[in-house]
């Protein structure tokens, strides 16, 4: 059993999928988000989408960082995480504008004061203001903020995003077929709409990252930051403190805490242009979130093989996590995005154009793989001399 499983979490969410297997799959089974007919206006040419996600256990990392450094600004990043984990999933079905967002913040009032709530809420509005400059309009509809210390140890920051969208402008992944190539967008570096370096950690795998990277003393000092029923052998077993300095991939001095808490990058400014100007060249979109580089298996056709043999070199944060955890590559690529956060399925002739659009935003992009015919659905990841088959 992996350390990830021993901590009570699953990269593949097997139990969640089992619990929901009887639910309606929506209009398009392979679409990245569930899509329903337009019940709001009853228009056959439109659809409705509602999506829920959040910052996950990254908020616990923010809590540790804030308690240790006093930096309240870290909570603005958590606000962005909760929004982007919704927004970038919706991008994958072609939706990028006229969105509604409602937040859900559950806190333990004894540990999370009002100024933290203010930082999260103001951070949300600040992100929406930035996106509006790129033509991505998200209306902040408020939400629920509850004091539920019996339910949460520290704080949980989540949200729901809703849209009504024309059916003819959807990306449903049904067009993915053999012969297509996959353009990957990097989650690391610094885009021209970000204020600092992004590690690409996003908001998945943070339970593993937190416990594998941070030192045992965090459990003793902050017992509210983890499930006290866990075996102590899997709780905060790493070599680092959040203040430990490292040099990032840009050659800048940063800290372990800043790498782990790097706000989830949105690709909305890039995808908006691609969907408006090159819609017919986009056959599929996959956000490499929960499930990491194996996420695509849930959304590709059954008769293809995906080969990823030119992924980006994994940025620093994943090297730090792997060395601390001693996890093998198979587990790393199942849990983390490993630096490649968005997959665009297209044809070879349009790949260069898509890459150029991303690079105009100072986001690294390259062809990371291809789609081949197969008798059964399969994913092959080649990293160095190793070949992983899923």
Q: Which has the closest alpha carbon to 91: 41, 161, 23?
A: 161
Confidence of residue 22 (pLDDT cuts 50, 70, 90): low
Q: What is the mean pLDDT of residues 306-321?
A: 97
Task: Give residue 42's domain range.
Answer: 3-197+261-389
Q: What is the mean pLDDT of residues 59-73?
A: 97
Looking at the predicted structure, is the pLDDT value of residue 330 above 90? yes
Instruction: Tell me what the pLDDT averaged over the chain comes to.
Output: 94
Question: What was the pLDDT predicted at 4?
Answer: 54
- Is 234 among the domain residues? no
Looking at the predicted structure, is the pLDDT value of residue 152 above 60? yes
Q: What is the mean pLDDT of residues 269-276?
A: 98
Question: What was the pLDDT predicted at 235?
Answer: 95
Q: For 176-213, write each residue's pLDDT tens digit.
A: 999 999 999 999 999 999 999 999 999 999 999 999 99
Number of domains in the chain: 1
Q: Which has the closest alpha carbon to 307: 216, 371, 218, 388?
A: 371
- Is 252 among the domain residues? no
DSSP, residue by residue, 186-234: ESSB--TT-SS-B-S-TTSSHHHHHHHHB-THHHHH-GGGS-TTS-GGG
Distance CA 136, CA 268 (A): 7
- Is 34 among the domain residues? yes
Question: What was the pLDDT predicted at 24?
Answer: 77
Confidence of residue 259 (pLDDT cuts 50, 70, 90): very high
Question: What was the pLDDT predicted at 10?
Answer: 58
Q: Beta strand pairing status for 181-186 and 340-346?
A: antiparallel
Contact 138, 97 (CB under 8 A): no
Q: What is the mean pLDDT of residues 76-104?
A: 98
Question: What was the pLDDT predicted at 55?
Answer: 97
Please say whether the dihedral angle defined by the alpha carbons of residues 273, 278, 279 and 285, taken in this order, is positive or negative.
negative
Burial of 50 (0-12, 13-18, 19+ CB in 10 A): middle
Q: pLDDT > 70: what percent of the chain?
A: 94
Q: Which has the closest alpha carbon to 59: 87, 89, 88, 80?
A: 80
Q: For 29-50, write each residue's pLDDT tens digit.
A: 999 999 999 999 999 999 999 9
Distance CA 210, CA 212 (A): 6
- Is 211 among the domain residues? no
- Is 92 among the domain residues? yes
Distance CA 57, CA 63 (A): 10
Question: What was the pLDDT predicted at 1?
Answer: 53
Q: pLDDT > 90: what percent of the chain?
A: 92
Classify residue 156 by its DSSP letter.
E
Contact 92, 33 (CB under 8 A): yes
Q: What is the mean pLDDT of residues 247-263?
A: 95
Contact 190, 262 (CB under 8 A): no
Q: What is the mean pLDDT of residues 299-318?
A: 96
- Is 245 among the domain residues? no
Question: What was the pLDDT predicted at 338?
Answer: 98
Looking at the predicted structure, is the pLDDT value of residue 12 above 60? no
Quote the Cα angle for 157-160-166, to 5°.
155
Count the neighbouring beta carbons within 10 Å of the beta carbon of residue 216: 14
Question: What was the pLDDT predicted at 25?
Answer: 80
- Is 174 among the domain residues? yes
Q: Strand (E) positions, the chain?
A: 36-37, 46-54, 99-107, 138-147, 155-166, 181-186, 245-247, 253-255, 284-287, 304-308, 340-346, 365-373, 378-383, 386-389
- Is 35 among the domain residues? yes
Residue 140 pairs with which residues in a beta bridge? 101
- Distant-in-sequence, close-in-space partners of 379: CB < 8 Å, separation ≥ 6: 294, 296, 297, 305, 306, 308, 389, 390
> 3-state class of 336 per DSSP?
coil
Distance CA 87, CA 67 (A): 29
Distance CA 346, CA 356 (A): 14
Q: Which has the closest alpha carbon to 204: 81, 327, 315, 80?
A: 81
Contact 131, 268 (CB under 8 A): yes
The CATH code of the domain that includes 168 is 3.30.1330.10
């Amino acid at each position: 059993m992996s350390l990830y499983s021993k901590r009570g979490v699953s990269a593949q969410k097997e139990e969640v999928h089992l619990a929901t297997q009887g639910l309606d799959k929506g209009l398009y089974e392979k679409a990245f988000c569930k899509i329903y007919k337009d019940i709001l206006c009853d228009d056959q040419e439109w659809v409705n989408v509602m999506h829920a996600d959040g910052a996950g256990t990254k908020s616990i990392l923010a809590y540790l960082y804030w308690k240790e450094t006093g930096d309240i600004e870290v909570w603005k990043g958590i606000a962005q995480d909760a929004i982007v984990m919704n927004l970038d999933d919706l991008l994958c079905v072609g939706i990028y504008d006229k969105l509604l967002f409602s937040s859900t913040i559950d806190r333990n009032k004894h540990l999370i004061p009002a100024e933290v709530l203010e930082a999260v809420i103001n951070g949300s509005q600040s992100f929406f203001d930035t996106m509006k400059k790129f033509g991505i309009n998200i209306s902040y509809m408020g939400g629920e903020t509850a004091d539920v210390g019996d339910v949460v140890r520290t704080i949980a920051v989540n949200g729901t995003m809703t849209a009504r969208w024309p059916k003819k402008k959807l990306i449903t992944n049904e067009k993915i077929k053999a012969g297509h190539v996959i353009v990957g967008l990097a989650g690391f570096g610094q885009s021209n709409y970000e204020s600092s370096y992004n590690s690409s950690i996003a908001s998945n795998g943070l339970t593993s990252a937190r416990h594998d990277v941070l030192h045992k003393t965090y459990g003793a000092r902050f017992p509210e930051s983890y499930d006290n029923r866990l075996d102590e052998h899997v709780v905060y077993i790493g070599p680092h403190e959040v203040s430990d300095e490292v040099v990032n991939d840009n050659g800048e001095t940063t800290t372990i805490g800043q790498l782990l808490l790097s706000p989830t990058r949105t690709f909305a400014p890039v995808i908006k242009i691609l969907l408006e100007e090159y819609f017919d060249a986009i056959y599929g979109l996959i956000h490499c979130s929960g499930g990491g580089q194996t996420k695509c298996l849930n959304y590709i056709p059954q008769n293809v093989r995906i080969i990823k043999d030119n992924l980006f070199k994994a940025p620093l944060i994943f090297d730090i996590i792997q060395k601390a955890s001693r996890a093998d590559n198979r587990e790393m690529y199942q849990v983390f995005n490993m630096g490649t956060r968005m997959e665009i399925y297209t044809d070879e002739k349009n790949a260069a154009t898509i890459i150029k659009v991303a690079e105009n935003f100072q986001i690294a992009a390259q062809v990371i793989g291809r789609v081949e015919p197969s008798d059964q659905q399969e994913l092959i990841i080649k990293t160095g001399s190793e070949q992983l088959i899923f």
